[in-house]
Amino acid sequence: MVTPQDKEKVIPFEFIPDKASETTNIDGKDYLLMNDAFYTFYQRSLGELSPFFLAIRDEKRILGCRCTVCGLVRVPPFVTHCPFCDFAPTEPVEVGQEGNMLSTPPITYFANSLFAARAPFGRGRVILEGADTALSTMLYTTTGILVPGIIKRGTEVKVIFRDERIGEITDIFCVPTAELTPQQIAEKGLQESELSWIAPAEPEFPEASAEDIAIYQRSLKEMQSLASEMSKSKRARKAIEGWKRDIAVKTRGGEFAMYIDDGDFRIEERKLESPDFVMACADPRTLLDGLSYKGAITDAVIMKRLWISKNMEFNTIFKLDRLARFLAREKKEQAAG
């Protein structure tokens, strides 16, 4: 029998649906939807790639391969023989743990279901010292949320090793060397626990002025009226179908609660004891603009105008953006007749 256990599973338990089905009715006819999965387990051979992954796991070293004819150093060592040189053999070679970005890396904010908890993250290609080809790697900043501009083409980065390694590519990632001390840069096999990660703390707001309170009250009223429109809009309801969150929202002028409950969206002036997560923004109009579809709430988080207590709640932020967009669309269509 399958039961949740402490040890991490190759398929996280929470992803597994119940054995069940449901019907949906379209134009008076019933259609069946079946909960299902398409799964296979592997004991996967890493074959000729084993030395590369073993060196990461056991020795905190990065290996490449050098062609014995043209001298090209490929990292990772993805060939045993060089296709450019009529398949001349290659030989293993160790490369450096610092390098430069081949190009500006993308940043993923909306990740697939397996990576939702890790977003936002960068993934890009780094040419390590002594290598000719680029290693694809995850990129983080120790300074909080990764925003465009921190890592660009040419930015120098260093390979960091996870504390727990099993011989997978996820055992390593990179951070900008500019965020490291000279000692850390000099250290080979630097581990994640040796870095000082800045955990973004909940912002504290100064005492509210009369104007702050007035802005808060006006914004709250507008948001409440938007929320009631959203709850009445068939289209907007779809954006938060099946979703439930109690969110505490703190602003300079006051605190309120947002409730998302399977299509229903409510805003009430009250302090939540145990919210699912906390949002904080000095100016409540940041959130009001988002809900009015004047600029994405996602972008407010990315640009640090809105703080959220759990990164994985990006998912909820996306839904709020979608809620705003769906209501705006419905209004626009109604206006057009």
Partner 1 sequence: MARKVGIVGAAVTPFKGKWYEKTYYELAQMATRDALKDAAISIKDVDAVAYGIYNDIFERTCIPEHPLQAIIGMQNKPGIRITNGGATGAYTMSAAHAYVAAERYDVVLVLGVEKATDCFDFTSMSATPEVIKVIGWSGDSFFEQKIGWTASDSYAEVVLAYMDEHPGDLKPEVTAQVSSQLSEQVKTNPYAQRQFDQVTPEEVMNSRYIVYPFKELEICVYTEGAAALILAEEETAKAMARNSGKPVVWIAGVGEANEVSFAGKNHNNWGRIMSHHVAAQRAYHMAGIKNPLEEIEVVEIHDAFIQQLEISMAEMGFVPLGRADALVEEGLMMPGGKLSVNPSGGLVYCGHAVGASNIMSAWSCRNEMIDKGYRRGLVHGTGSTICQYGVVLILEQA
Residue 281 sits in the site that holds Zn ion (CB under 5 A) = no
Q: Which two tokens stand for residue 324?
A: 């705003």
Identify residues 150-189 at the interface with partner 1 (CB under 8 A). Answer: 152-153, 168-170, 173
Amino acid identity of residue 180, one-letter, is L
142 binds, among partner 1, Zn ion, none (CB under 5 to 8 A by kind): none
User: Which of 145, 152, 151 lies closest to 298 in space, CA to CA?
Assistant: 145
User: Of partner 1, Zn ion, none, which one sits near residue 134, judging by CB under 5 to 8 A according to partner kind?
Assistant: partner 1
Q: Which of 132, 156, 192, 276 is the binder for partner 1 (CB under 8 A)?
A: 132
Give dist(CA 151, CA 139) in Å, integer: 8
**Peptide bond preceding 12 in cis form (omega within 30 of 0):** no
Instruction: Give me the least distance between CB of 186 and partner 1, in Å please.
Output: 26
Query: Residue type at 292?
Result: S
Q: Is 329 in the site for partner 1 (CB under 8 A)?
A: yes
- Binding part of the chain for Zn ion, among 61-69, 93-101, 165-173, 287-295 by CB under 5 A, reads 61-69
81 binds, among Zn ion, partner 1, none (CB under 5 to 8 A by kind): none
Q: Please pick, from the candidates 46, 70, 166, 213, the single residue that binds Zn ion as defined by CB under 5 A.
A: 70
**Residue that is written with structure tokens 């390979």 in the block:** 159
Give, in order, the Cα–Cα distances in Å from 145 to each of 24, 124, 305, 313. Answer: 40, 16, 12, 13
Q: What is the DSSP letter of 310?
A: -
143 binds partner 1 (CB under 8 A): no
- Regarding 112 and contact with partner 1 (CB under 8 A), the answer is yes
* Nearest-angstrom CA–CA distance, 300 and 41: 40
62 binds partner 1 (CB under 8 A): no
Binding range to partner 1, per CB under 8 A, among 126-134, 178-186, 193-201, 251-259: 126-134
> Which residue in 185, 187, 188 sits closest to 177, CA to CA?
185
Interhelix angle 210-232/314-336, rounded to 10 degrees, is: 70
Give the footprint of partner 1 on residues 71-100 (CB under 8 A). 72, 74, 76, 78, 84
Is 13 among the residues that bind partner 1 (CB under 8 A)? no
Residue 121 lies near partner 1 (rule: CB under 8 A):
yes
Q: Looking at beta carbons only, is 54 or 69 nearer to Zn ion?
A: 69
Half-sphere exposure of 255 (CA within 13 A, CB side): 14
Cα separation, 38 vs 87, in Å, equals: 38
Site for partner 1 in 259-278 (CB under 8 A): none
Question: In the range 73-92, which residues lie near Zn ion by CB under 5 A?
Answer: 82, 84-85
Q: How far is the first Cα of the chain from the last one, in angstroms, to the nearest whole number?
A: 56
Interface characters, 147-186, with Zn ion (x: CB under 5 A): ----------------------------------------
Binding partner of residue 178 among partner 1, Zn ion, none, CB cut-off 5 to 8 Å per kind:
none
Where is 259: in which H helix or E strand? strand 254-261
- The residue among 108 and 309 lying less far from partner 1, judged by its C-beta, is 108
